[in-house]
A and B are shown apart, each in its own frame.
Chain A
């Protein structure tokens, strides 16, 4: 899965956990000098969070039309086959 997707999912998941916690963390951040490293860590955390969240919600089924199309193809149905 691409990074932006994972990060977006991670960010959404974070909202679920509560914006409050994140805000408290952000407040604590302001006093620190290693912000760049923290940002990298944050990004990585979001990525992993996203990966887990997507797995939790991932669909397991095929497109219904796909199942029908395979069936139609195997029966030799085609254009003009009315």
Chain B
């Protein structure tokens, strides 16, 4: 759907009717505690729902169990292949670019800051990582999958944040619109989809046009399952560029909350990086990906590493050449990639079990190496500034 500033402003007044109504009823009837306790044990599709689950929750879980009817499964399969090919890079882009990009929208930073407190970045990063991993499982939408229940829970979580922010008067609805409104949900979708592709490009990762389009497509499916009204999200990368750029330029700027969340995020990553020698590289990579203006708004510290990190896409380019020309090099880089992703996620989730065997499984099942697609390179469209 093509959006104008006016149509985007209209989206600020709209939340997520189904999830909001469910949460409101649960709170009204005092059934939230029971719901949470019972749902803790529901983590896979096809699992029998526990006895005693409130009716309204039953109804919500039934209504939200299916993916949108328009899903093209071939496209979803291509998205998975894209993810397999780029899993380390996608994780890096999510961690070092998408998270800070959320903080550069002051009202989003305010909401995140108000709802989660100190532990926030690590939890959200771990949850986002886990969410992406669940999505990229070959059976993400089938019986036994953890993805659909995760979506259903996140959607209710968002609704409960709306409920609390309003009730406790933590949100100036007159000025800021509905908390986690449709515009912010689509904006978030842009941050995790097209803006991740922008970051991959900045990292020097070569992408095929097909791969980039399918990665975006998968997030569009997720967006609708998370409560974005059908037909409201941009339909393709071209529309996404337009929405993303309009949304960001409308709101982006400095804020105290944004700077504080960024500090917490950097501290978290520095904990994950072994030793202290490489610590400044974390801030440098964030600065490289989001650019100096955003980095200054978020008070990302400067260091000598800023220059060194600029070489990373070039190094990546050299390494990709190695991968393409030498089977031994390809194997070594693949192992390195696997280890890096595993390290990132397991450190972030503090040792909780992560089902990270997906890519291996797909490669075995389909006998895929998918290196050929790199030749047709996708490059992000230039900025689409509103006139």
* A binding-site residues for B, Cβ under 8 Å: 1-2, 5, 8-9, 12-13, 15-16, 19, 53-59, 61-73, 75, 77-82
Contacts and interface: CB of A to CB of B under 8 A. Distances in A.
B249 A1 contact: no
Main secondary structure of the interface of B (DSSP, over half): helix
Contacts of B293: 66, 69-70, 73
User: What 7 A-B pairs are tightest by C-beta distance, nearest first?
Assistant: A66-B291, A57-B317, A63-B291, A69-B293, A79-B106, A78-B253, A64-B198
B254 A9 contact: no
Given A5-B315, A9-B318, A79-B106, A68 B252 contact: yes
Contacts of B383: 64, 67-68, 71
Nearest to B101: A65
A82 B326 contact: no
A10 to B, nearest CB: 9
A45 to B, nearest CB: 16
Main secondary structure on chain A at its contact with chain B?
Answer: helix
B314 A53 contact: yes
Contact of B291 (A69, A78, A82): A69
Contacts of B195: 64-65
Given A57-B313, A57-B318, A65-B294, A16 B326 contact: yes
Contacts of B104: 65, 69
A66 B252 contact: no
A11 to B, nearest CB: 9
B146 interface: no
Nearest to B247: A68
B314 A71 contact: no
Contact of B253 (A63, A65, A77): A77
- Of B249, B326, B385, most A-chain CB atoms within 10 Å: B249
